Amino acid sequence: MKIILLNETTSTNDEAKKFLPMREDLVVCAARQTGGKGTKGRSFLSDEGGLYCSFLKFYKKLPASEAFRIMAHAATAVCRTAKFFGADPEIKWPNDVYAQGRKLSGILIENGFLGEEIDHSIVGIGLNVSNDLSALGGIAVNLSEAAGRALSLQEVRSVLIGNFERESSFEEYLSFVRFLGRTVRVTEGGRTYEAVARRILRDGRLEIEAEGIRALSAAEIALRL
């Protein structure tokens, strides 16, 4: 996979889009983002010491209905990487990665479609490695702290890219999900209620039990463990 390294960019996802006409799998990594983006339009703190990469990948005959495979694979690659360095990662549905109860990594995916198939995806991964997170008030952790030792950004980048290039399975993704069977707090529209998280379906929806059983998509709710 071709690797493009930048000192600074607004967003590695936006940078990766510039290479779409080449129709070649590649990854863009930056030491710092000035306009890092999270899900649902949120900003993503992207100071030096973190790892910010966007993987541009093209597909042949991948049905749009299987889009969750991309998200699950990205979260699994991050968990593999964290585990390699001695951390104990877990996935907060659908794709945030936590360690020690604090956020370790965020993932933002932008898919391009041709009819009923996914033509390409841009998978943006922000992984805290040794960056200062004190401004976030203790809600996030970096991999060096979670691993108990100082880590090289270059080594973490190499391991993450290698893990992203390896195949993964839905079962491996589920092995990093630990809240199933527990009571969670769901915010849906203007209503907040408690429910038991039963299972994650292969299309990415979360099946819950609260006055009956139903399946919810990540776009519909906010979830607190």
Regarding whether 91 and 146 lie in a shared domain, the answer is yes
pLDDT range class, residue 219, cuts 50, 70, 90:
low
Check whether 95 has a pLDDT greater than 70.
yes
> Residue 37 has what pLDDT?
61
Average pLDDT value over all residues in the chain: 92
Regarding whether 143 and 49 lie in a shared domain, the answer is yes
Cβ(108)–Cβ(13) below 8 Å: yes
Tell me the CB-side half-sphere exposure of residue 209, using CA atoms within 13 A: 8
Regarding whether 211 and 135 lie in a shared domain, the answer is no
- Structure letter (DSSP) for residue 162: H
Check whether 220 has a pLDDT greater than 70.
no
Q: Which residues contact 224 (CB under 8 A, 6 or more apart)?
A: 184, 185, 187
Q: How confident is the model over 32-57, as a mean pLDDT?
A: 77
Regarding whether 135 and 202 lie in a shared domain, the answer is no
98-121 pLDDT tens trace: 999 999 999 999 999 999 999 999
Phi, psi of 177 (to 5 degrees): -100, 120
CATH number at residue 39: 3.30.930.10
181-215 pLDDT tens trace: 999 999 888 889 999 999 999 999 999 999 899 99
Domain count, the chain: 2
140-162 pLDDT tens trace: 999 999 999 999 999 999 999 99
Q: What is the pTM of this model?
A: 0.93
CATH number at residue 207: 2.30.30
196-211 in b/e form (b: 16+ CB < 10 A) is ebeebeeebbbbbeee
Its domain, for residue 74, covers 2-175
Regarding whether 109 and 59 lie in a shared domain, the answer is yes
- Classified as helix, coil or strand, 111 is strand
Question: CA-to-CA distance for 30 and 7, rounded, in angstroms?
Answer: 5
Q: Give the pairing of strands 26-30 and 2-6.
A: parallel
Regarding whether 158 and 195 lie in a shared domain, the answer is no
With tokens 């983002």, the residue in question is 33
Strand ranges of the sheet holding 117-128, from the earlier edge strand across to the other edge: 2-6, 26-30, 50-63, 117-128, 102-114, 96-99, 89-92
